[in-house]
Amino acid sequence: MFTRLLILVTGGRANAHAIEFGKIDGVEIVCAVDADPVRAKAFAAKYNIEHTFASPEEAIGWGQFDAAANVTSDRSHYPTTMALIAARKLVLCEKPLAKNYEQAQEMAAASESAGLIAMVNFSFRDDAPLQRAREIVLSGQIGRVRHVDESFLQSWLVHSDWRNEAKLLWRLSTKHGSNGVLGDLGIHVLDCAAFAADSAIERVFARLKAFEKVRDNRVGEYELYANDSLGLTVELENGAIGVIQASRWATGYTNELELRLFGDKGAPEVLSTSEGSTLRACLGENVPNGMWRQIAVDELAMSIYSCFIKAMETGKNTEPSFRYAANLQRVVDLAIQTERQRTEANVRDASSQHHEHPAAT
C-alpha cells in the first residue's frame, strides 16, 4: 500500500514525524502546511517535500493526500482534526487529543462514525523498555499489580529563557489553551501507567499548583496560571493504586520519566531520560532480598508511526485510538475538577458534561 502523507505545521515535533515516517517503506510525505511560508519552505527542502500550503483549508482543497500528521498546538487539534475527518482523511494527532473531554469525545465519535483510522501519538509508547515492562506485566511475572509509582520531572522553569519563547509561554497559559503540566506531562504519565499496567484509570484525585513566576504572572499577552506542578493519586480498574507527580520546577532534572510497577510477585522499573531509557526488575529468586537486575531490551517492537501505517493497511483502528485518548482526557478534566472541589472523582461514573477550567490551578 502506498500512503501520501501531509504534515500539519512544521514546528519542532514535526521533525520527529518527518524522520519516523520517512523510514517506512511505501510512505511519501507529499505536503507540509504552515502559516509561516519561510518555515514551511525550509522544512519542505529539508525533507524533500514537494508541496507547501499556508493553511489546512488550502491543503484540504488540494486534497492529494491520504493521511495527516497533526502537529499543531493543543488548542488547534480539535478544529484542524475535525476538518480533516470531514474531508475523510486519516489522522495521527499529537497528544493531548483536545483541550477537554467534550471536544475529544466529539473527535472520537466523528472518526468512528466515518470509519476512519484515527490515532494519537503518545510518544513514550515508542520506548522499548516501557514496551518490555508491559510484556513482563502481561506475562504474570510480577503477579497482580498492587501499586504504581511514577514521576515526570523537568526544570526548564528554573534554567531556560522561557520568558522570551512563545513555544514555552503558551504552555503556562490557560488562556492559550494549556492544561499546564497536567495536560503536557501528566497525560504522558497517566498513559504510561495505564499502558504498562494494562489497566485503565478508574479514580483520580489531584493537587495542582501554579507558582508565581513573574510579577502578576503575566508576560505580554500570556497569563501564566496553568499548573506548574502536580501530585495525583489514582486507582486503576485492576485495583492497584498509584502515586504520580510531575513538575517543571524539578531542579537538576532536565527531562526524566520514571515508572515503577509493584506486584505481589515482582516489580519492573523504567527510567527514561534525554540520554536514553533503561529497564531493571526485581523478579523471582531476587524478590526476598530486594535485588534489582538490569534487563537487556531488544530494539523497539513497533513505533506508533508504523502502527498507524499498519492500521491503514488493515483498515482496523488500533491503540492508542481517539476513543482511548478521549477517555484519558476525561481523567485530566476530572483531575482539574478534583483540585477545585477537593474530592476524588470516579471516571466511570462521571458524566460527559464539559467542565470549565479554573482560572488558576
The domain locations on the chain are 3-124+306-321, 127-301+329-346
The confidence score (pLDDT) of residue 210 equals 96
The confidence score (pLDDT) of residue 344 equals 87
pLDDT, one tens digit per residue, over 225-265 is 999 999 999 999 999 999 999 999 999 999 999 999 999 99
The confidence score (pLDDT) of residue 2 equals 86
Concatenating the DSSP letter of every residue in 61-72 gives: HH---SEEEE--
C-alpha cell at 341: 472541589
Classify residue 41 as exposed, middle or buried by CB count within 10 Å of its CB (0-12, 13-18, 19+): middle
The confidence score (pLDDT) of residue 356 equals 43
Residues with Cβ within 8 Å of 329's Cβ and at least 6 positions away in sequence, in order, are 96, 97, 98, 100, 101, 104, 187
Q: Which fold has domain 127-301+329-346?
A: Dihydrodipicolinate Reductase; domain 2 (3.30.360)
State how beta strands 201-209 and 229-236 pair: antiparallel
pLDDT, one tens digit per residue, over 130-182 is 999 999 999 999 999 999 999 999 999 999 999 999 889 999 999 988 999 99
Mean pLDDT of the chain: 94
Residues with Cβ within 8 Å of 159's Cβ and at least 6 positions away in sequence, in order, are none
pLDDT exceeds 70 at position 359? no
State how beta strands 345-346 and 201-209 pair: antiparallel
Residues with Cβ within 8 Å of 216's Cβ and at least 6 positions away in sequence, in order, are none
Query: To which residue does cell 500512503 refer?
Result: 3
Question: What is d(CA 201, CA 188) in angstroms, rounded to the nearest whole number?
Answer: 13
pLDDT, one tens digit per residue, over 312-339 is 999 999 999 999 999 999 999 999 999 9
The superfamily CATH assigns to domain 3-124+306-321 is: NAD(P)-binding Rossmann-like Domain (3.40.50.720)
pLDDT exceeds 70 at position 358? no
